[in-house]
């Protein structure tokens, strides 16, 4: 089984319980609100979310934009997302199954993602692809873990990066042709260790713009 197949299988298995973890839901919602506040959508935007999962961020962003494509590799996660959108009456969301690395994309005013970049092996190549599918003046917002020691996930197949260095990711965004790169801390996960100490895992939010044409 390759890296991407391992991810699909893992998230298909996790999907029915994903929203039962209160700490996880809280983290996803905090990060999603930080993304929404940073992108400040006005209501006319056509948007791509990749790694949409069960839609914890989708439900926060969709009411604020014109159309949102919720892309995910896992059919199981998307089944949960579709059910939630139907119950909320969100008819501007299309749930699409596919790998963001190789699926054909449209063109978007905003592209965002939460806690998914660490599953992608060739991040610079993905950033070039995302930049090519942003409209001029469009914006990208990417949230993920700062560099960590591997303890966040433990030994799990399908995790390609133990977080990211902000300086390195910022340079990758600029190399992809994006400008106005900025970073903030969207949320910090805190976990109690067996010895009573607390492990902290900050989650960055990187925002960048595609230059206006001309």
Ligand X SMILES: C[S@@+](CC[C@H](N)C(=O)[O-])C[C@H]1O[C@@H](n2cnc3c(N)ncnc32)[C@H](O)[C@@H]1O
Tell me the C-alpha to C-alpha distance, in Å, between residue 175 and each of 91, 129, 165, 178: 36, 12, 15, 7
Q: At 11, list the tokens.
A: 């998230």
Minimum distance, C-beta of residue 4 to ligand X, in the bound complex (Å): 6
Nearest CB to ligand X, comparing residues 67 and 161 = 161
Note whether 53 binds ligand X by CB under 6 A. Answer: yes
Question: Could you give the CA distance from residue 109 to residue 20 in angstroms, rounded to a whole number?
Answer: 32
Would you count residue 69 as binding ligand X (CB under 6 A)?
Answer: no
123 near ligand X (CB under 6 A): no
Residue 115 contacts ligand X per CB under 6 A: yes
Dihedral sign computed on CA atoms, order 14, 20, 22, 27 = positive
Query: Which helix (DSSP H) or strand (DSSP E) does residue 37 occupy?
Result: helix 22-39
Regarding 169 and contact with ligand X (CB under 6 A), the answer is no
Single out the residue of 115, 119, 140, 143 nearest to residue 129, CA to CA. 140
Of 61-69, 94-102, 169-177, 185-193, the window that binds ligand X (rule: CB under 6 A) is 94-102
Is residue 85 at the binding interface for ligand X, with CB under 6 A as the rule? no
The correct pick among 74, 186, 208, 210 for binding ligand X (CB under 6 A) is 74
Positions 5 through 34 that interact with ligand X (CB under 6 A): 7, 11, 28
Please, which residue, 184 or 212, has the CB nearer to ligand X? 184
Q: How many CB atoms lie within 10 A of CB 66?
A: 14
Subset of residues 130 to 159 that bind ligand X, contact rule: CB under 6 A: none
C-alpha closest to that of 206 among 185, 182, 187, 172: 182
Of positions 61, 100, 141, 142, contacts ligand X by CB under 6 A: 100
Crossing angle for the helix pair 166-175 and 123-132, to the nearest 10 degrees: 40
Residues at the site binding ligand X, with contacts judged by CB under 6 A: 7, 11, 28, 50-51, 53, 56-57, 71-74, 77, 99-101, 114-116, 119-120
């Amino acid at each position: 089984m390759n890296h991407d197949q391992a991810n699909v299988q893992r998230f298909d298995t996790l999907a029915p319980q994903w929203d039962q973890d209160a700490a996880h839901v809280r983290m996803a919602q905090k990060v999603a609100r930080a993304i929404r506040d940073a992108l400040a959508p006005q209501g006319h935007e056509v948007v791509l979310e990749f790694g949409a999962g069960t839609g914890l961020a989708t439900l926060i962003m969709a009411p604020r934009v014109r159309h949102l494509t919720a892309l995910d590799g896992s059919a199981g996660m998307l089944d949960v997302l579709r059910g939630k959108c139907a119950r909320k009456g969100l008819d501007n969301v299309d749930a699409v199954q596919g790998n963001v690395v190789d699926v054909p994309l449209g063109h978007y005013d905003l592209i965002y993602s939460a806690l998914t970049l660490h599953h992608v092996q060739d991040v610079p190549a993905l950033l070039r692809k995302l930049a090519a599918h942003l409209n001029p003046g469009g914006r990208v917002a990417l949230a993920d873990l700062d560099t960590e020691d591997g303890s966040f996930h433990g030994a799990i197949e399908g995790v390609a990066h133990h977080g990211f260095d902000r300086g390195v990711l910022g340079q990758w965004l600029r190399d992809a042709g994006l400008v106005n790169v900025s970073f903030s801390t969207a949320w910090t996960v805190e976990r109690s260790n067996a010895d009573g100490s607390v492990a902290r895992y900050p989650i960055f939010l990187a925002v960048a713009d595609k230059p206006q044409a001309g």
